[in-house]
Amino acid sequence: MNGIKKFNLGFLPTPLHELKNLGKEYPSYRILIKRDDMTGLATGGNKTRKLEYLVGHAIEQGADTLITAGAQQSNHCRQTAAAAAIAGMECHLMLGGEKPREYNGNLMLSMLLGAKIHYRGESRKGEDLELLAQSLSEKGKKPYVIPYGGSNITGATGYFEAAGELKEQLDQKGLKADYIFFASSSGGMQAGLMMGMVRYKLHARLMPVRIDKEEPGGRSLREIVRSLIEQGPEDCREIKDGVPMVEGYDHAGYGVVTAQEKRALKTLARTEGIILDPVYTGRAFYGMMDLLEKQKLPKGSTVLFWHTGGLPANFSYAGEIL
């Protein structure tokens, strides 16, 4: 989309298959799943696709260090640490909260992958990434700043291309998806998909389930997605009916596990042997189950869940999931 040469990090295309056992519980619908939990890169997830372009850009810029930010259980940070290891770069992560007594889940893996951790208290969305970049530059490093969630136009390119991948797979299998559900949080995946669907003529209704009701700097997720799309290719900036968003499942707050997420995790694990995560995909999957149960979508529809990973967070929330 933007002429950046991607740096291969993932195992693509990811599988697309039907959830036949789960489908029996929702006989009015056909349910498909796109397995971006299997992209590879230190247990997989949606950041692999974004990082292929972000790291490609960092290499073009002559960078030797990646820096980014997130929560302590950030999947994005863990995958950035893995990408840095593969690219032979240093990795600095600015994480919310204080240094914990024990390391587990994504945080433990980020450390195992060699990232240098900076604990930032209240700031978990990269509020002071530029300051760190400056101080590393003063020490002779060549840092490349990856924004919160990898969600800029460069990162979004990964999902622009993923829309083409899905379209090809659906065509090959003679399938179509009427609705596509996924967890939307920092907006890069959503913006990339929205533009890629125009480019690759993937006709489906996007159902991005909002995960985090916080609006950093007073900017809503819809605004963030819109502003990313404004930076995309002109012929793909179509936002016909506004920016889609499934709201109402994030009341508990970011990273708070409720009976809803638990139910989603148990349902998919026990019908299909597939592991969701408690923060993102569990919440989005519950949103989809809820709408199917209430028959809010037309009967006979084919519904696709785009699994975006997050496996390691289960180990950090272990006591709250079962």
Distance of CA 303 to the CA centre of its chain: 19
Contacts of 79 (CB under 8 A, 6+ apart): 41, 42, 45, 47, 48, 51
Quick one: which segment of 57-65, 228-236, 250-258, 307-315 binds ligand PLP (CB under 6 A)?
307-315
Question: Which of residues 40 and 142 has its CB atom nearest to ligand PLP in the complex?
Answer: 40
Q: One symbol per residue from 173 to 192: x for binding ligand PLP (CB under 6 A), - otherwise; what is it?
A: ----------xxxxxxxx--
The residues in 1-60 that bind ligand PLP, with binding defined as CB under 6 A, are 45-46
Among 96, 105, 126, 149, binds ligand PLP (CB under 6 A): 149
Q: Record the tokens describing residue 155, joined without a space.
A: 């990162």
Q: Quick check: 277 binds ligand PLP (CB under 6 A)?
A: yes
Residue 308: CB minimum distance to ligand PLP, A: 3
With CB under 6 A as the rule, give the number of residues binding ligand PLP: 20
Distance of CA 214 to the CA centre of its chain: 17
Question: Which of residues 232 and 310 has its CB atom nearest to ligand PLP in the complex?
Answer: 310
Give the integer Cα–Cα distance in Å for 200 and 218: 33
Q: Quick check: 264 binds ligand PLP (CB under 6 A)?
A: no
End-to-end CA distance of the chain: 43
Q: Which of 148, 160, 182, 286 is nearest to 229 (CA)?
A: 160
Give me the residues paired with residue 31 across strands.
Answer: 303
Give the integer Cα–Cα distance in Å for 110 and 85: 10
Q: One symbol per residue from 65 to 104: x for binding ligand PLP (CB under 6 A), - otherwise; what is it?
A: ----------xx----------------------------
Is residue 220 part of the annotated active site? The answer reads: no
Question: Which of residues 78 and 167 has its CB atom nearest to ligand PLP in the complex?
Answer: 78
Contacts of 254 (CB under 8 A, 6+ apart): 71, 211, 212, 213, 214, 279
Q: Which of 28, 74, 137, 301 is catalytic?
A: 74
Instruction: Give the residue numbers marked as catalytic.
Output: 74
The residue ranges that bind ligand PLP (CB under 6 A) are 45-46, 75-76, 149, 151, 183-190, 277, 280-281, 308-310
